[in-house]
Structure formats: C-alpha cells, structure tokens
C-alpha cells in the first residue's frame, strides 16, 4: 500500500471486491474482458457478478490494476494486464497490441477528484508493475479529442511520455517503453525510475 505525499490518499492493488465500489460507468463493466456477453446487454447485477468473478479468477498471483482511496472511498482506479486477458483489444483498428507490452484497459478518476495527480500516480504504479512482471512497455488505446473512453484521453498519455505506436483518427495505439534488459538484469527506463514531479491542475486526475 502506498500513500500520495502530503495527502491521505492510499493506493492499493485492485481486488475483486473493488468492483462494487467502482463508478457507475465502470461498475460491473466487462467490455474488455467479455465482449460477447457485454454485447448482449446483461443486467447490471449480472455484469457485476461476471466482473467480480473474472477478477477473482484472473488476479490470482498477478496484479491487474490499482485503486486510489481516501477515507475508505474510491477516488480513482486503473486496470491493466496481459493483453490476452482482454479479447476486446482485437476489435481496434490500431492494433494489434505488442507481445512485449502490458495493456492498460481502463483509467478513470472521479469527477470530484480530478486535478490531484491521481492519474499520473496510477500510471506510475502501472509502470512499476510492468517492470516487475517483465514487460518492456505499456500500451493503451487512447481517444483523440474526447475523454469519453475507458482509458481516458490521448493528452493524458502524451504528458506521461507515451508516443503513438500505430495511428488512428479516433483511437490510436499509444506506447511507452518502461524497461530494458542488460544481460539477465531487468533495468527500469529512466522515465520510470525518476520520481514523479509535482502535480499540476492540468493533469486529468
């Protein structure tokens, strides 16, 4: 568990029970994990059950996201992991996701918690997770000209050191190198090793 300096915000690994605390747009959403079932428009209760069970099944032995909490309440979260866990990735024109990359599928900060650096910190923690689990990069489908996207707008990722790997008019595939190998040793890229700079109001989070 980590804390944001100067704040009472705690960052924790994403757990199955967190699905119940997610925001209305995200709670129980299985868009990335089960696209066929999602397309049938199951009830909210059914989606929440599927989401919780999916997280319980696939988070054993691995970290699939991070949450930010303050006084027990959820402020923001991100979900990520091995691309093969998220079949919806195959439907994006800017794909495929690289085999050496961990895929970010969702990043959402509650409206009343934005401007506090939460998105930046969640991305930093995603980088740390990618390095520890042997990935060389993070990748994400980010939307142009709108924040109406599971993972947020392209501007957030450009500010965080991502570059366009494969372009698209709406949802380009973004990539950030986070690690390199020197012999048997996995070394963090400079951008991932440097502590985060002070947050600015322009940060989406």
Distance from chain centroid for Cα 50: 19
- Residue 58 belongs to some domain of the structure: yes
- DSSP-derived 3-state class of residue 173: strand
- Residue 46 belongs to some domain of the structure: yes
Q: Which of 77, 69, 78 is nearest to 4 (CA)?
A: 69
- In the prediction, which pLDDT does 200 show? 36
- With DSSP H G I counted as helix, E B as strand and the rest as coil, what are the percentages for the chain, rounded to 5? 30, 25, 45
State which residues form the domain around 84.
Answer: 2-193
Give the model confidence (pLDDT) of 142-154 as tens digits. 999 887 788 988 9
Both structure tokens of 66: 């991070």
The answer to whether the beta carbons of residues 104 and 139 sit under 8 Å apart is yes
- Residue 205 belongs to some domain of the structure: no
- In the prediction, which pLDDT does 190 show? 40
What is the number of domains present in the chain? Answer: 1
- Residue 13 belongs to some domain of the structure: yes
- Residue 81 belongs to some domain of the structure: yes
- Residue 125 belongs to some domain of the structure: yes
- Residue 203 belongs to some domain of the structure: no
Mean local confidence (pLDDT), 5-11: 75
- In the prediction, which pLDDT does 141 show? 97
- DSSP-derived 3-state class of residue 50: helix
Ramachandran quadrant class, 76 (left: phi over 0; alpha: psi -120 to 50; beta: rest): beta
pTM for this structure?
0.83
Mean local confidence (pLDDT), 173-187: 67
pLDDT band at 3 (very low <50, low <70, confident <90, very high): low
- Residue 35 belongs to some domain of the structure: yes
CATH of the domain at 17: 3.40.630.30
Distance CA(156)–CA(126), nearest Å, equals: 14
């Amino acid at each position: 568990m980590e804390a944001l300096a100067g704040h009472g915000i705690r960052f924790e690994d994403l757990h199955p029970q967190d699905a119940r605390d997610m925001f209305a747009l995200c709670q129980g959403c299985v868009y990335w994990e089960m696209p066929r079932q999602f397309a049938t428009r199951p009830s909210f209760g059914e989606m929440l059950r599927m989401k919780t069970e999916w997280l319980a099944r696939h988070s054993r032995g691995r970290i699939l996201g991070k949450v930010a909490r303050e006084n027990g309440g959820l402020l923001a979260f991100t979900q990520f992991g091995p691309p093969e866990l998220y079949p919806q990735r195959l439907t994006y024109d800017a794909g495929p996701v690289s085999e050496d990359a961990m895929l970010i599928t969702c990043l959402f900060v509650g409206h009343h918690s934005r401007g506090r650096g939460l998105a930046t910190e969640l991305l930093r923690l995603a980088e740390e997770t990618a390095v520890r689990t042997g990935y060389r990069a993070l990748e994400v489908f980010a939307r142009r000209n709108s924040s109406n996207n599971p993972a947020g707008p392209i501007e957030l990722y450009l500010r965080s050191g991502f570059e366009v790997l494969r372009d698209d008019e709406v949802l380009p595939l973004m990539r950030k190198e986070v690690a390199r190998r020197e012999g048997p040793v996995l070394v963090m890229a400079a951008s991932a090793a440097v502590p985060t700079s002070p947050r600015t109001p322009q940060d989406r989070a």
